[in-house]
Amino acid sequence: MRILALAFLLVAFAPALPAAEKNAALHQLFADEWERGLQESPENASYNGDTRFNDRWSDLSFAAIANSEQGDRDALKRLHAINRKSLSTQDQLHYDTFEWQLKQKVERQQYREYLMPMTHQGGIQTADGITEVLSFNTEKDYRDWLKRMQGIPALVDQTMELMKEGVRTGRTPPRAIMTRVTAQIAGQQPDNPESSGFYAPFKRMPEAFSPELRSALQNEARQIITSAIKPAYAKLGRYFTTEYLPATRETIAAANLPDGKAYYDFLARYYTTTGLSADAIHAIGLSEVARIRARMETVKAETGFQGTLPEFFSFLRTDPRFFYSTPHDLLEGYQALSKRIDPELVKVFGVLPRMTYGVRAIPDSIAPDTTTAYYQPGATDGSRAGFYYVNLYKPQVRPKWEMLALSLHEAVPGHHFQFARGLELPEMPMFRRTAYFVAYGEGWGLYAEQLGYDMGLYSDPYDRMGQLTYEMWRAVRLVVDTGMHAKGWTRQQAIDFFKANAPKTDQDIVNEIDRYIGTPGQALAYKIGQLKISELRARAEKTLGSRFNLRAFHDEVLGTGSIPLD
């Protein structure tokens, strides 16, 4: 700490320091803040492949939260003590990106989001899901997990204290989505401890372990689940059902929270990384919906379908030819599709990431309440590959025509390329290599769906309809998210608008609308980001003419790393 304080004084009060030393001070700040982030969030460290804190959870006490917030304010002061003008061009970009992050963190503090620590998509009730990214190869790996398991009762208590303060101050999530959480909490209280998600690692122990060691570790796991974890979740369940759920909001709009209008305006700026207002975003959404709908009419005609567009949507949602019959077949379909995409990537990229990726099923415990698919980045040290998680729940609501666009977005060349390329930029500070600005990241994912045309993959009109459906889905988001949170729309209005403009299935539509209710503003980032990347491509094509190289353009976008659109 004394060394850090001395460095701060040198930077703040010695303007004659050489630029190289000032750059060193900047990068020391980056390194210090990266380390602080890992220590404050052991879960984040685990997801990044750093195993040092695998035996603990985040401290959710009010004191720890206050210390973390003070740490953000102190880091911003420390950054501002460095003379930006003296930095190299690359370090100025690092400086600006880091400053943007810290300013957003500090501004966000006033809204006390930590008082709503659970949503229907995650929280203490899904804590066992972290096993998906943990390595279980050594006895220490298992001992760390056992210690983490022992920490669940304390984490439950801290979570409940946050929820109680949320109730007291009027900061609660909408009841419309929180009703789903009751079953999730109940799922953490199985009669047989071996059915618990916390026990899953003990079912696949290394062959090198002796029978005695296996038995000892398994016995301890069962004992912790029975005597500590199950009672903790039972207590949480009683509180949630009898006190918390009745106290949740009957309204759905973020605007109904304390300082809600300012809060939603902040979220719109934060997620889109622009200064766009809710009204401007809503208007962009309506314009894009009209444009894409016209293109859908054209593709409908190409298929030979004779009915109206709504009738075509119904056909796409219900005809058996568009669906796999079993979860196993659906998973194999996704895996085969990924193998079809991989060889075509060289057509549009000069640099391919070294990190590999795999296709996995979304865990059964969360599949009914989560999205169609998502991507989990690999470990920062390369010790764990990236994974494309696909939802196999109810194959009859997972149409084949959406699978190509979805895979291009979530796997390659979408999120896997974006995250893997970032990790393979060794000259970048770690916060830049792992940065995830939603508009850049999800904008790239949506843009990547359209690269199927450049790669020659959209030969089937139904696949093209799938691409348009996914683009429409993101345009609809601009309308319904701003509609619900800033314009007084009801949940049903949002569902009806979505269904009228895209052939997504009812299961997906309801899950998506509930997701927008639970995470206001996040869904605005996709279309706004894609429009910006497409605009930059068009500008480059116009400026460079015959010298424009699509592969070089994509390499430059990903080689820059994730940054705010502004």
Q: What is the pLDDT of residues 423-433, one digit of tens each?
A: 998 889 999 99
pLDDT for the residue 19: 52
Task: Give CA–CA dist 442/244, Å, rounded.
Answer: 33
Quote the Cα angle for 83-85-86, to 5°: 75
What is the predicted pLDDT for the residue at 11?
Answer: 33
Buried b / exposed e over 110-127, threshold 16 CB at 10 Å, is ebbebbbbbbbbbbbbbb
- Predicted confidence (pLDDT) per residue in 318-340, tens digit: 999 999 999 999 999 999 999 99
The pLDDT assigned to 427 comes to 84
SS3 of residue 137 by DSSP:
coil
Please measure the distance between the N-terminal and C-terminal CA atoms of the chain and give it in whole angstroms: 35
525-565 pLDDT tens trace: 999 999 999 999 999 999 999 999 999 999 999 999 999 99
Residues in the chain: 566
pLDDT of residue 9: 29
More confident residue, 154 or 15: 154
Question: Which residues lie closer than 8 Å to 429 by C-beta, 6 or more apart?
Answer: 27, 30, 31, 34, 94
Per-residue model confidence as pLDDT tens digits over 173-227: 999 999 999 999 999 999 999 999 999 999 999 999 999 999 999 999 999 999 9
Backbone angles phi, psi at 360, to 5 degrees: -130, 160
* Tens digits of residue pLDDT in 264-305: 999 999 999 999 999 999 999 999 999 999 999 999 999 999
In sequence order, what DSSP letters do the residues of 500-531 get, joined into one string?
Answer: HH----HHHHHHHHHHHHHSTTGGGHHHHHHH
Question: What pLDDT, in 10s, does the model give residues 70-84?
Answer: 999 999 999 999 999
Count the alpha carbons within 13 Å of 561 in the hemisphere toward its beta carbon. Answer: 19
Are β-strands 386-390 and 373-376 bridged in parallel, bridged antiparallel, or unpaired? Answer: antiparallel
Closest CA to 447 of 479, 411, 410, 414: 414
Element (H, E) at 245: helix 245-247
The reported pLDDT for the residue numbered 369 is: 81
Q: Which residues contact residue 559 at a Cβ distance below 8 angstroms, ignoring those fewer than 6 apart?
A: 351, 421, 425
Q: What is the mean pLDDT of the segment spanning 11-36? A: 72
Edge-first strand order for the sheet with 386-390 is 357-361, 386-390, 373-376
The answer to whether 148 and 218 have CB atoms below 8 angstroms apart is no
Average pLDDT value for residue range 155-170: 98
Residue 178's φ and ψ, nearest 5 degrees, are: -75, -15
- Find the mean pLDDT for residues 121-138: 95
Give the whole-number percent of the chain exceeding pLDDT 90.
Answer: 92
Determine phi and psi for 258, rounding to 5 degrees. Answer: -55, 135
Alpha carbon separation from 469 to 122, 313, 504, 537 (Å, rounded): 27, 10, 7, 22
